[in-house]
Structure 1
Amino acid sequence: MANFQREVKDHWYVQYQEMGFPAIQKGWVLPADRWRDFDPFILMAEDWFKKGTFPDHPHRGFQTVTYVVDGRLEHIDNAGGRDVLEPGDVQYMNAGWAARHAEDGVEDDIAHTLQLWLNLPGNKKNSETIYQNVYGEDAPVVPFEGGSVKVFSGNVAGVEGPLNSIVPITLSEITLSEDAAFTLDLPENHNAFVYVLAGDVVAGENEVNLKKHGVATLSFLEEGEGSSELKLVSKKRRTKVLVYSGAPIREEIVPHGPFVMNSMEEIKQAYDDFRRGKFGPPAV
């Protein structure tokens, strides 16, 4: 029996707005008010910013996956972690029960990032706080005719990505030359979306054209247990797309400020715990 063929279900282009300094520009790749459609993903923001935009702040109840598009991003957390990520690097954070960190541009750099918020099931919202840096050169690359796929997370193209998320996901960066084609295998029960970083691509069995800043959600079989195929064909000399996928959690959530919980009572508790110092000292 043939694998399930993915189609583009919905697509749009990111709209950007200028921000007040030291932030510069922001766009919503995945708007937060549509989290039920994107489950297990909550939102994804594309930001351009300088040092001072995202100083010390708390999180609870979800995970982040931050892809550095350009510039340098400095990560500092109150568990003693500190590092600088460069273009093509990814940082994973399981906020779990209490994360406190800062993410900022380095020196005079303009950091350009994509930050994905990934939900945690209710029984894991109080899990241990974890940070993991995945440097671009440590993600395995599988070449194919006319391009390559770099695997940051999950089992894709016969290799395993180094990112270890509490809720398993796949994250692939696919680079294509003009007229090159690639078929990406994904678990058919994974909700998935595509973001075009550069170029021009035709995606899915229904052949939807997406240019730079284009986003597409994909059809999937939530009760499926097999594999599915996403067809991609490049229409430009340099095309680069990111593909994210994960199994839906199907729990009601309350995203509020820096916290994502299952009820407003839990949100209030998170704010109270932060005020009482339970998140620990500032990340400086």
Structure 2
Amino acid sequence: MAERFQREVKDRWYVKYNEMGFPAIQKGWVLPADRWRDFDPFILMAEDWFKKGTFPDHPHRGFQTVTYVVDGRLEHIDNAGGRDILEPGDVQYMNAGWAARHAEDGVEDDVAHTLQLWLNLPKDKKDSETIYQNVYGEEAPVVPIDGGSVKVFSGCVAGVTGPLDSIVPITLSELTLAKGAEFTLDLPENHNAFLYVLAGEIEAGVNKVNMKKHGVGTLSFNENGEGTSELTIKSQKRRTKVLIYSGAPIREEIVPHGPFVMNSMEEIKQAYDDFRQGKFGPPAV
């Protein structure tokens, strides 16, 4: 049997945070947008703390979002009539496709703390149907492991498949470990991947890189591989929690601009024109 590809931590950094003007409170870039070629198919990931009124009605086109609620409550409203409140440990998936219009806000006096990932769409799917899917924490399968657990939101990890059904297939799992516990995740070998330490401290990859809370690590991968790879994570502290994301690169040039992600500046201008002309539909209120 051929030896499987062993993932290593290729690059790492710690998120730097900036205070924002009220009702926004604080923001940090887990994945900075100017490095989207390194992260492909992922474009950016923002970590936000905010209160009601920060993200009212706004449009999107040409990409997907995966929003993980860390703390507080997040109210989602869209102009197709969708409305729900997500709580800590819940995830919302949105395929903006050709025209999404929604609002994301804190609830009452809560401070919402979220991680929002922007996931690219290939050119032939940028005009796809707009879709929203809420994945509540209790709906994601949990696999007990020695010294912890793996919760799977998307893709096949640890022998189970998560309920999140994205247009571009990804994996998203949440690994919880006690001090000294170790686990090896199987990920598609050709998926670009990164991890984010929500709590505790880890040693990750075959090169055993140390990372603490707020640490981000991009991982090696074999883009032409057809099998699975192994990512080993060991906890160095109690109550360690890590999010692991992976997806196959799309390898298309993109133009991220404001709330839109298209393949050219002309398409960005068209998106703004379409929004001004009311083609995105009524406000999300």
TM range (shorter): over 0.9
Query: How far, CA to CA, are the matches of 1:210 and 1:167 in structure 2?
Result: 29
Q: How does 1:116-127 map to 2 (within 5 A)?
A: 116-127=117-128
Partner of 1:113: 114
Query: How far, CA to CA, are the matches of 1:73 and 1:269 in structure 2?
Result: 31
Deviations 1:109-133 (A, max 9, x none): 0000000000000000000000000
Amino acid at match of 1:111: A
Query: How far, CA to CA, are the matches of 1:111 and 1:214 in structure 2?
Result: 21
Query: How far, CA to CA, are the matches of 1:32 and 1:138 in structure 2?
Result: 31
Partner of 1:39: 40
Query: How far, CA to CA, are the matches of 2:148 and 2:118 in structure 1?
Result: 29
| TM-score computed with the length of structure 2 as normaliser | 1.00
Query: How far, CA to CA, are the matches of 1:238 and 1:2 in structure 2?
Result: 32
Query: How far, CA to CA, are the matches of 1:223 and 1:267 in structure 2?
Result: 32
Partner of 1:275: 276
TM-aligned CA deviation for residue 278 of structure 1: 0.1
Q: What is the DSSP-based 3-state SS (H/G/I as helix, E as strand, rest coil) of the residue aligned with 1:35?
A: helix
Amino acid at match of 1:280: G
Partner of 2:135: 134
Query: How far, CA to CA, are the matches of 1:200 and 1:263 in structure 2?
Result: 41
Partner of 1:229: 230
Amino acid at match of 2:159: G
Query: How far, CA to CA, are the matches of 1:200 and 1:192 in structure 2?
Result: 19
Query: How far, CA to CA, are the matches of 2:187 and 2:276 in structure 1?
Result: 42
Query: How far, CA to CA, are the matches of 2:177 and 2:29 in structure 1?
Result: 25
Q: How does 1:1-284 map to 2 (within 5 A)?
A: 1-284=2-285
Query: How far, CA to CA, are the matches of 1:241 and 1:255 in structure 2?
Result: 28
Query: How far, CA to CA, are the matches of 1:166 and 1:237 in structure 2?
Result: 36
Query: How far, CA to CA, are the matches of 1:117 and 1:164 in structure 2?
Result: 15
Amino acid at match of 1:73: L
Query: How far, CA to CA, are the matches of 1:279 and 1:123 in structure 2?
Result: 19
Deviations 1:31-70 (A, max 9, x none): 0000000000000000000000000000000000000000
Percent of matched pairs sharing the same residue:
86
Query: How far, CA to CA, are the matches of 2:216 and 2:189 in structure 1?
Result: 19
Query: How far, CA to CA, are the matches of 2:95 and 2:257 in structure 1?
Result: 17
Query: How far, CA to CA, are the matches of 1:257 and 1:145 in structure 2?
Result: 44
Structure 2: gaps spanning 5 or more residues: none
Q: May I ask how many residue pairs the two structures share in their alignment?
A: 284
TM-aligned CA deviation for residue 2 of structure 1: 1.2
Q: What is the DSSP-based 3-state SS (H/G/I as helix, E as strand, rest coil) of the residue aligned with 2:55?
A: coil
Note the aligned Cα RMSD (angstroms): 0.2
TM-aligned CA deviation for residue 259 of structure 1: 0.1
